[in-house]
Amino acid sequence: MTRVYATFYFNGSFSDGSPDRVEKVHIFVVLFEVLFYDDAGLIYRRQRNGKHQLLVPKAPRNKVIRENYDPTYAAHPGVKRTCELLALNFWWPGMRKSVDDYVKECKSCQRQKRNREYMAPLGDLGSPVAPFEITSMDITEPYPLTPPKNRYQLTFVDHFSKYAEIFPIQDQSELTCATV
């Protein structure tokens, strides 16, 4: 493939009117993947599918990422999905690294992320030597609503004798499970 080194100067601004400083952009332009200006002076990256990507200046890049990552409908989609969403309309050199840095710094994602270091390891419970030494409990759902308005089943199993009891319950609350 033939590569041509190109330098572009542009003064970017966003729809909210915040101006960006004039920026010098050095880009390797691959043949058939050309940058072009539109009538408004914006620079686009030409795509083969006919849907072109806006070249985003440095200053508003975090704003573009935030508007595609933080809204409730976006649901903090992670690095890969955010890059895919951005690539539908935008492009800049190092876009994946910018998104990766933004996601690593997202405070709500850091709060939600579980630290796997402290998770209890899954392992063998051992073999019980007496009835009801080791038991387990589970709630299964949803079942068709019965006349007494039960929709769930609370199941107890003794690991020694394999004795099981199943209780229909109306809800999954602690109080309901404790009073069975």
177: which 2 tokens? 């499970």
d(CA 153, CA 115) in angstroms, rounded, equals 32
d(CA 177, CA 175) in angstroms, rounded, equals 6
Which CATH number does the domain 3-112 belong to among 1.10.540.10, 1.10.340.70, 3.20.20.70, 3.90.1150.180? 1.10.340.70
Is the Cα dihedral 165, 170, 171, 173 positive or negative?
negative
Task: Give the pTM.
Answer: 0.47
Could you tell me where the DSSP H helices lie in the chain?
Answer: 61-69, 78-87, 95-105, 107-112, 174-179
Each domain of the chain, given as residue ranges in start order, spans: 3-112, 135-179
Degrees (nearest 5) of the Cα angle 119, 123, 129? Answer: 130
pLDDT in tens, the chain (180 residues): 344 444 444 444 444 444 444 444 444 444 335 777 788 888 888 877 778 888 898 889 999 999 988 887 777 888 899 999 999 999 998 999 999 999 888 887 777 665 544 445 566 778 889 999 988 899 988 788 889 999 999 999 999 999 999 999 999 888 988 888
d(CA 113, CA 131) in angstroms, rounded, equals 39
Distinct helix (H) and strand (E) counts, the chain:
5, 9
